[in-house]
Amino acid sequence: MKVLVVGSGGREHALVWKLSQSRRVEKIYAAPGNGGMKDLAETVNIKESNTVELAVFAQKEKIDLTIVGPEISLALGIVDEFSKKNLKIFGPTQRASVIESSKAFAKEFMKKNNIPTAGFNVFDSAIGAINHIRTASFPLVIKADGLAGGKGVFVCQNSRQAEESIRIIMLENKFGKSGEQVVIEEFLKGQEMSFMAIADGKRVIPLATSMDYKRAEENDKGPNTGGMGSISPAPEISRDLYNTIMNTIILPTIEGLKFEGKEFRGLLYAGLMITRIGPMVLEYNVRFGDPETQALLLRMKSDLVDLLEGSADGNLFDIPVEWSDEVSGCVVLTSRGYPGKFETGKTIEGLKRAKAMGVEVFHAGTILKSDGYYSAGGRVLNICARGTTLKDTMKRIYDAISFISFDNMNFRQDIGRKKSSEGK
Ligand code: AMP
Ligand code: GLY
Provide the pLDDT confidence category of residue 237 given band limits of 50, 70 and 90: confident
- Distance CA(416)–CA(210), nearest Å, equals 11
CATH architecture of structural domain 189-313 = 2-Layer Sandwich (3.30)
- 119-186: in CATH 3.40.50.1700: no
Provide the pLDDT confidence category of residue 418 given band limits of 50, 70 and 90: low
Region 235-240 average pLDDT? 84
Provide the pLDDT confidence category of residue 197 given band limits of 50, 70 and 90: very high
* Domain at 2-91, CATH from 3.40.1410.10, 3.40.50.20, 1.10.10.10, 3.40.50.300: 3.40.50.20
Q: What percent of the chain has pLDDT over 70?
A: 98
Region 397-410 average pLDDT? 98
CB of 355 within 8 A of CB of 385?
Answer: no
Region 93-100 average pLDDT? 97
Region 165-170 average pLDDT? 97
Task: Write out the residue limits of the CATH 3.30.1490.20 domain(s) in the chain.
Answer: 119-186
Which of 356, 361, 365 lies closest to 409, judged by CA? 365
CB of 169 within 8 A of CB of 175?
Answer: yes
At 102-119, the pLDDT tens digits run 999 999 999 999 999 999
Task: Write out the residue limits of the CATH 3.40.50.20 domain(s) in the chain.
Answer: 2-91
Which of 155, 158, 167, 102 lies closest to 129, judged by CA? 167
- CB atoms near residue 132 (< 10 Å): 16
Provide the pLDDT confidence category of residue 422 given band limits of 50, 70 and 90: very low
Which of 404, 414, 388 lies closest to 326, judged by CA? 388
Q: Please give the mean pLDDT across all residues of the chain.
A: 95
CB of 48 within 8 A of CB of 73?
Answer: yes
Region 86-92 average pLDDT? 98
Q: Is 83 a residue whose pLDDT tops 80?
A: yes
Identity of residue 96: A
Q: What pLDDT is stored for residue 423 in this prediction?
A: 33
CB of residue 290 inside a 6 A radius of ligand 2: yes
Task: Write out the residue limits of the CATH 3.90.600.10 domain(s) in the chain.
Answer: 327-410
Name every protein residue with a CB atom under 6 angstroms from any ligand 1 atom: 118, 141, 143, 150, 153, 155, 185-188, 192, 214, 224, 271, 282-283, 421
Region 412-422 average pLDDT? 75
The atom number, within ligand 2, closest to the CA of 214 reads 1
Q: Is 295 a residue whose pLDDT tops 80?
A: yes
Q: What pLDDT is stored for residue 424 in this prediction?
A: 26
Q: What pLDDT is stored for residue 111 in this prediction?
A: 98
Q: Is 421 a residue whose pLDDT tops 60?
A: no
Q: Is 403 a residue whose pLDDT tops 90?
A: yes
Grouping H, G, I as helix, E, B as strand and the rest as coil, residue 181 is: coil
- Distance CA(409)–CA(147), nearest Å, equals 27
Q: Is 121 a residue whose pLDDT tops 70?
A: yes
Q: Is 67 a residue whose pLDDT tops 80?
A: yes
- 327-410: in CATH 3.20.20.70: no
How far away, in angstroms, is 85 Cα from ligand 2 center?
A: 30
- CB atoms near residue 236 (< 10 Å): 11
The atom number, within ligand 1, closest to the CA of 189 reads 21
Q: What pLDDT is stored for residue 278 in this prediction?
A: 96
